[in-house]
Structure 1
């Protein structure tokens, strides 16, 4: 076997192992939902236990729909569109470079479309054209994190809000989360704004 083929195989194995790890980590984050549900049901009155458990179970489908429809595009639609690629790029492979359109400010006139400070992504609504496995692994991992983050306020508002308001919240929550995620993890303006102590690189 030539050194070039050996190198190609090792790179392929690295991407495969990283994707398996991303999926395992995503499943573990998803299982945090069970812990949130047990804590919240245990802290509310018995008559509201079923309502609280239903909220914890429904945040995933509602959040997943919102993240699929618009959240992923806003958060990671210009993911590779900055002066420095986020740390995820080297881990999941070159297929993620298809996420390369967004809205931003600053940049080099010689390289139009590459922003110094990204604001939001514009590619990937409804996962349109996203058939690369690395993009789908990134979608899953970030979706479960967004849904877990969306669950935290349900504990504070248990017994205090209606089912309709909760459903609206579940569909809305992807907007602020994904905007901020784009600024920090998507190579946006906060990721480029001076020192971040090793945080926000993905």
Structure 2
């Protein structure tokens, strides 16, 4: 038996001589391999957040639109992936030297082939292959677009998702990404947005706000006197599961932005601040809703978690654990009241996209101007200390400029794009289609066919009974 084993090993070494004489990897090669695996895993976690958004949005809307809401997540991420590969990645991270001194957008690396890494100077500090860097940044662009769709929910035509998804990925998202992360004008003045409170969340939320204003409220949302009616989502369990998935995905979102798993484990510190903020946001929002309504509101708690995650995204690498709890708790409480305020103003934002991702994104970006420590700012090598840590008002002012610049840009370009769509192809489905539900109107089938068929039969029976002079049963 031993003799046969030795013969087998000898034959194997002859067939695969490289195994017998393979050299051990150098420390640099080992480091690059570990970093590459870590960033690829982080990218997968961020892409998996799409599942969370699908469940959250489907659960937060009505049953008759559930299939449409979930299905369009796949469609729009596919559009985003192709558009970002062709143009968005180059505009965001390519070298734009010679044109406005690279301050506004990149002009290299279009139709990324995975070979010419020199086209992306802004990403050259990391030893991760450019293909993996692309996948990681694509995941971020996909999240921003998924946020934008919250303002379109339950009333937008399907072709709008094609047109706006393409244009958002090419002419909106990558421009602000370049300003902050690609060597643009905001990066040069030291704006601190580690993983995208402004770049990802505020951009998507601002587009959602413009959409929900141009689309106007859903049928039945407001009474003639302007008072709002509650249109509850059909499944809170799906919404809870969606938030849990998004929370898990955020461990790729923020820690993954280190683009490294080496050194002193800084990505673990970022995971710590991220998790503490999320926990504080959920608890704070639940407490506020309990005081305000007299009952603890589950959707408010979920929005509190998300708002806190959005807020800590900019500041996770710059603040202490205690500060992260404060940032998350403030985000959860503020989001609760802004959601109510927007609704009272006649704005029908079905999943509260602007409150959760916009207001919290603004707060999170500004928070580093208060809480950034000099030690962490030096570690990340971006900007300086915040107001509460001896930095004065300088960093806070830089953060304000960044928020204002991004907000105005996305607001204007989104309005132009969506208004042109509105006057050409149209934004909104017909009243009949909206009442019917987008599952059937746009796709020819329901996400819950058995339940919806029972509802239609009950509605038909009630209508016939009413025509005969008999009372209509209440469903």
Q: Distance in 2 between matches of 1:102 and 1:163?
A: 39
User: C-alpha offsets along residues 135-167 of structure 1, whole Å, 9 cap, x if unaligned?
Assistant: 111110000110011101212321121100011
Q: Contact 1:62 / 1:170 at 8 angstroms: preserved in 2?
A: yes
Specify the alignment match of 1:161 in structure 2: 156
Q: Distance in 1 between matches of 2:68 and 2:187?
A: 39
How many angstroms does 1:26 deviate by?
Answer: 0.3
Higher helix share: 2
Specify the alignment match of 1:61 in structure 2: 78
How many angstroms does 1:178 deviate by?
Answer: 0.7
In structure 2, do the counterparts of structure 1 residues 72 and 153 end up closer, same or farther at CA, with 3 Å as the change threshold?
same
**Residue 125 (1) aligns with residue 125 (2):** no
Which has the higher mean CA deviation after the structures are superposed, 123-132 or 176-185?
A: 123-132
How many angstroms does 1:195 deviate by?
Answer: 5.7
Q: Distance in 1 between matches of 2:191 and 2:162?
A: 38
Residue-pair matches, total: 164
Q: Contact 2:83 / 2:166 at 8 angstroms: preserved in 1?
A: yes
TM-score, normalised with respect to structure 2: 0.32
In structure 2, do the counterparts of structure 1 residues 129 and 148 end up closer, same or farther at CA, with 3 Å as the change threshold?
closer
How many angstroms does 1:104 deviate by?
Answer: 4.0
Q: Distance in 2 between matches of 1:23 and 1:129?
A: 15
Specify the alignment match of 1:90 in structure 2: none
Q: Distance in 2 between matches of 1:45 and 1:103?
A: 51
Q: Distance in 2 between matches of 1:104 and 1:190?
A: 16
Specify the alignment match of 2:58 in structure 1: 41
Q: Distance in 2 between matches of 1:150 and 1:157?
A: 11
User: C-alpha offsets along residues 64-103 of structure 1, whole Å, 9 cap, x if unaligned?
Assistant: 111011101100111xxxxxxxxxxxxxxxxxxxxxx545
What's the secondary structure of 2:129's corresponding residue?
helix
What's the secondary structure of 1:120's corresponding residue?
coil
Q: Which has the higher contact order (CA 8 A, sep 6+)?
A: 1
Gaps of 5+ in 2: 1-22, 118-127, 193-367, 369-376, 383-475
Q: Contact 2:91 / 2:107 at 8 angstroms: preserved in 1?
A: yes
Q: Distance in 2 between matches of 1:179 and 1:51?
A: 30
In structure 2, do the counterparts of structure 1 residues 103 and 183 end up closer, same or farther at CA, with 3 Å as the change threshold?
farther
Higher strand share: 1
Specify the alignment match of 2:221 in structure 1: none
